[in-house]
Amino acid sequence: MSADVLWYVPNQVRAGHRGDVVTADHNSLDTLTEQALALEEHGWDGALLGTGWGRPDTFTVAAALAARTTTFNPLVAIRPGYWQPAHLASAAATLDHLTGGRVRINIVSGQDGIEQYGDTVTDRAARYGRTREFLRLVRRLWTEDDVTFSGEHYRAAGATLPVRPVARDGRAHPTLYFGGASPEAEEVAAAEADVQLFWGEPLDGVAERIDRLRALSERVGREHAPLQFGLRVTTFVRDTTEEAWRDAEAKVAQLAASSDRASGRPGRYRDADHRAADRPVAVGQQRLLDLAARGDVLDENLYTAPARAGGGGAGTTWLVGSPSDVAKSLRRYQDLGVTHFVLSDTPYLDEIRRQGQQLLPLLRDW
């Protein structure tokens, strides 16, 4: 079983994301291109481009980076509600055609600035019902002519895309990644996604979710190829185990101090009971934050303390250790059935190179 290994390219207006180097040109085309070219040079399969109303448009960034690279596969995160199915299907098919089949799509259903771009669907059941229709219609537009569709949220009549995605490496269209940990989200993944992305949970939690999603796929009558599984996690790699833990603990202390200064409330993320009062969190975020109650280190080297320092979310649990330590940990996830990995650490460019030299070759030997 081969692994597909991606990185994460920061798509941020503000410099210094999660400890990255603060420079005035941190989000310039030249800076992001340097990262994409470094990913190609070191053998990464591509990178996730995160989405959010407060970020630059992911598809525009992906198109610009694709034009300056040759093997870089952008995993473009998009939100239903901001995008319409026909718009996304056409944009993705066009970029996939122009790049020879390098596009991947990550569907995000979480709420983020919806009032600012005019979305009105806030109820969770309705959001995920819409996402399920969105995925079904996009896939049909990519693979069929004269598509007619009538759902609760979307309709189409006699729709045919002028440009189709590229059939490549066994895929008929861009791979559809999807995240979410709520029951509604898991039902969407089981029925319509190609890859379910997990955040950095312990092995027992990931195993339980894989078993549940496989069983759910049968119950919902999945009509596609079997659901695949991915892991989005920070990999904190140093030459030795001791050096990695020393640096990881120092970095968490620095992140916590930065969060405290930004919030104006010392220790804001230290107490798990604070969180509900601070702000609502998604089910997946809450799962990561709750891991701290089980201990700062789970399994052998899954470090949960960063979630408290950074407030939860993707990449805020870390696999810490030497290259061989982290490779062994990732292999344990692969043994459970995870075949797609989205890794990262900061400073992003330095870690693309370090982990490209030290960690990635160990993963390619699987």
One digit per residue, pLDDT tens: the chain, 366 residues? 478 999 999 888 787 777 778 888 888 999 999 999 999 999 999 999 988 888 899 999 999 999 999 999 999 999 998 899 999 999 999 999 999 999 999 999 877 777 877 777 778 899 999 999 999 999 999 999 999 999 999 999 999 999 999 999 889 999 999 999 999 999 999 999 999 999 999 999 999 999 999 999 999 999 999 999 999 999 999 999 999 999 999 999 988 887 666 555 554 444 433 343 444 566 766 777 677 778 899 999 999 998 887 656 678 899 999 999 999 999 999 999 999 999 999 999 999 999 999 999 999 877
Architecture of domain 4-242+327-364: Alpha-Beta Barrel (3.20)
Q: Tens digit of pLDDT for each residue in 86-141?
A: 999 999 999 999 999 999 999 998 777 778 777 777 788 999 999 999 999 999 99
DSSP for 110-148, please give it: S-SSTTTTT----SHHHHHHHHHHHHHHHHHHHH-SSEE
Among the listed residues 43, 34, 25, the one whose alpha carbon sits nearest the alpha carbon of residue 64: 34
Q: Cβ(319)–Cβ(203) under 8 Å?
A: no
Side-chain half-sphere of 253: how many Cα atoms within 13 Å? 6
d(CA 217, CA 273): 35
Q: Please state, in angstroms and rounded to a whole number, the distance separating the CA atoms of residues 254 and 256.
A: 5
Helix (H/G/I), strand (E/B), else coil: 354: helix
Tens of pLDDT, residues 197-213? 999 999 999 999 999 99
Handedness of CA 239, 244, 246, 252 (dihedral sign): positive
Q: What is the pLDDT of residue 102?
A: 98
**Domain coordinates in residue numbering, the chain:** 4-242+327-364
Q: How many helices (H) and strands (E) does the chain have?
A: 13, 13
Helix (H), strand (E) at residue 233 = strand 228-237
Terminal Cα distance for the chain, rounded: 8
pLDDT for the residue 10: 84
What pLDDT score does 310 carry? 66
Pairing relationship of beta strands 176-179 and 195-199 according to DSSP bridges: parallel
Q: How many Å apart are CA 73 and CA 80, to the nearest integer?
A: 22
Q: Are 244 and 325 in contact (CB under 8 A)?
A: yes
Backbone dihedral region for residue 191 (phi beyond 0: left; psi -120 to 50: alpha; all else: beta)? alpha
Six-digit token string for 240: 């030795």
Task: Determine phi and psi for 8, rounding to 5 degrees.
Answer: -130, 125
Question: How far is it, in rounded angstroms, from Cα 323 to Cα 55?
Answer: 32
Place of tokens 């089910």: 283
CB atoms inside a 10 Å sphere around CB 52: 17
